[in-house]
Amino acid sequence: MALIFDLDGTLIDSLRIHKAATNYAIKSVLDGHNIPKSFMDKAIRYPSPILLRLAAQKFHLNLNSEIYKEIMKKKLDIVTDENIAAQVKIYPGVVELFKLLRDNGIRFCIATSMNTTELKKFTRVLKLKKISKIIINPDSHAHEKPNPYIVNKSVSILGVKKKKVFYVGDSPYDAVTSKRAHVNFIGVFNKKELGAEDEFYKDIKELALKVKKNIERFKD
């Protein structure tokens, strides 16, 4: 068996910084335009290309590829090492769960749609390599979720059969990604938007307790 984990909103409490950075970037690039909080609160769990596309449709924004790149570059003004260190934490239960998996020979990795520049910052500041040696992200916008690329690549690297793989995430796009990759899905944190038919836990700590209680289920 193997578990593949989304990063933002699943393993780390990073939605607040992403929301602030995205709002700042949009306002800076699009002449002061401000996306309503009600929209951002819901859409912030979506991959950035989808969030911006939905915002463009709903609020009649002009977002061509060059503007998109400018917005993503401007986000980095907020997503600094200092702000990550001050605002972002690894969720309770993550370190314990990964140690449990490692100690029992259960393969795992992190697979995220976060772009390489941001991912390097989060990995360095939060020392993510200490909890997972394998961290995978897309090599192009076309491979971002819900494209199953990062899950398929994870499966290949981990060397497991898809029927024995679980993808753990917090958004509907994580669920869609897992289904397109033909692996099992486990949802955390976001019950309201995740399908009732999927396996769900209120947080990573609860998932860790479940895995510990039923460790044989996750072994090969």
Complete DSSP assignment for 145-208: TTSTHHHHHHHHHHT--GGGEEEEESSHHHHHHHHHHT-EEEEES-TTTS-TTSEEESSHHHHH
Task: Supply the pLDDT for residue 71.
Answer: 87
- In this predicted structure, the answer to whether residue 191 has a pLDDT above a threshold of 80 is no
Q: Which two tokens stand for residue 10?
A: 């699943």
Question: pLDDT band for position 197 (50/70/90)?
Answer: low
What is the average pLDDT across 107-132? Answer: 94
pLDDT of residue 57: 86
* Residues facing 150 on adjacent strands: none
Residue 133 is given by DSSP the state S
Indicate if the pLDDT at residue 174 is higher than 80.
yes
Q: Answer for the pair 89, 122: CB distance below 8 angstroms, yes or no.
A: no
**Residue 35: which H helix or E strand, with range?**
none
pLDDT of residue 151: 95
pLDDT at 139 over 70: yes
Q: Report the chain's C-alpha Rg in angstroms.
A: 17
DSSP-assigned beta bridge partners for residue 136: 111
DSSP-derived letter for residue 1 is -
Locate 27 and state its tokens. Answer: 């306002």
Q: Which of 5-14, 48-57, 190-199 bottoms out in mean pLDDT, i.e. has the lowest? A: 190-199
- Predicted pLDDT at 126: 96
Distance of alpha carbon 50 from alpha carbon 131, whole angstroms: 29
Q: Which of 175, 159, 188 is nearest to 13 (CA)?
A: 188
Judged by average pLDDT, the poorest of 9-13, 69-73, 92-96 is 69-73
pTM higher than the cut 0.85 = yes
Mean pLDDT (the chain) is 89
pLDDT confidence of residue 63: 78
> Contact 157/136 with Cβ under 8 angstroms?
yes
Q: Are 35 and 59 in contact (CB under 8 A)?
A: yes
Could you check whether the bond before residue 146 is cis, i.e. omega within 30 degrees of 0?
A: yes
143 vs 152, higher pLDDT: 152
- What are the strands of the beta sheet with 107-111, ordered from one edge? 135-136, 107-111, 2-5, 165-169, 184-188, 199-201
- What number is the average pLDDT over the span 41-49? 82
Tell which wins on pLDDT, 168 or 30: 168
Please give the average per-residue pLDDT across 4-21, as a whole number. 93
Confidence of residue 196 (pLDDT cuts 50, 70, 90): low
The whole-number pLDDT of residue 61 equals 80
Question: Residue 66 contacts by C-beta under 8 Å, 6 or more apart in sequence?
Answer: none
What six digits make up the tokens of 180? 């397109």
Q: pLDDT at position 13, please?
A: 94
Query: Mean of the pLDDT values across residues 78-86?
Result: 94
